[in-house]
Amino acid sequence: MEFLLRSSVPDSLIQKTLIVLPLSGADSRLKKTLLLRILRTLLLKASLSETALQILELLEDLDGASASAVRRRAYLAVAVECTVKYLAAAPDDADGEFSGAVNRIWRGRVAALEARRSGLVSGELARWRDDLEAALGDSRACERLADLNSRREAMNEVRAYLKEAWESMGPSFLESVAAMSKGLTKEKDDFVVSGNKRDNDHENDNDACMEDVAMHDENQGKQQLEEKIDANQEVGGRDLLLESDKGTFF
């Protein structure tokens, strides 16, 4: 399941799989993988809504540790985008959707994070809360906020966080098994090649040894023949030569 969540298969297939395999008994790693997959889908669809804030909060709960600086920046960027986007649509209507976003996000979510001393809270987050609340009665501040490219900033920060999160988790189980199998296959191939090389070297050594023995026997035979000829010449070589001559001419 983790392998599917981290792959590029369509979300529709993931949804069908989740129906068959519910997450009631899933471990924290699988739940984290699912949350990251949903966050990635929101990013690809350029739809970083308040759901992304909820996902980042759940990821912090699953990790059980202080949030990284990259996650804090992602949370802040999404919170700002989910608030000021209403000013971009209606900069003169600060009391409308913008005011509702300030109440939900900054007086609701952010206040709750501060109360439980969440790792997502930072000094910059607190400063943004103060600036956004102050902008409720300041038209010039609203105009300045409306000119911000908060959407691009949020997408860049979420993309950076996803990269860090996937890398920190390491490969999935299936990917690890595949890497191990590939390594074992390579070791086996190297062993076979090394074994063949040793066999060839051994055969070459045997051939060289046989050639040396044959050469030695041939040299020894020549030496023995030469010694016999010398001995015959010293003892009766002349008589043998004469007998040979007689057989030739008479």
- The pLDDT tens digits for 175-233 are 556 556 665 565 656 655 566 656 566 566 656 555 554 555 555 555 554 554 454 44
The answer on 187 and 164 residing in a single domain is: no
Listed residues 170, 188, 215: the one ending a domain: 170
- Do residues 35 and 75 share a domain? yes
| Domain end residue (candidates: 111, 142, 170) | 170
Residues 219 and 241 in one domain: yes
Total structural domains in the chain? 2
pLDDT of residue 91: 79
Same domain, 152 and 189: no
The model carries a pTM of 0.66
Residue with the larger pLDDT of the pair 39 and 181: 39
Dihedral angle sign, alpha carbons of residues 240, 243, 244, 245:
positive
What's residue 238's pLDDT? 40
Q: Which domain holds residue 143?
A: 2-170
| 105 pLDDT higher than 90 | yes
Q: Are residues 108 and 194 in the same domain?
A: no
Q: Does one domain contain both 184 and 118? A: no
Q: Assess whether 85 and 164 both reside in one domain.
A: yes
CB 108 within 8 A of CB 160: no
- One domain for residues 148 and 243: no
Same domain, 60 and 99: yes
Q: Which two tokens stand for residue 3?
A: 């392998």
pLDDT of residue 27: 77
Are 70 and 51 members of one domain? yes
Q: Check whether residue 161 and residue 186 sit in a common domain.
A: no
Are residues 105 and 140 located together in one domain of the fold? yes
Average of per-residue pLDDT across 125-130: 96
Of 117, 148, 170, the residue at which a domain comes to its end is 170
For residues 121-147, average pLDDT: 93
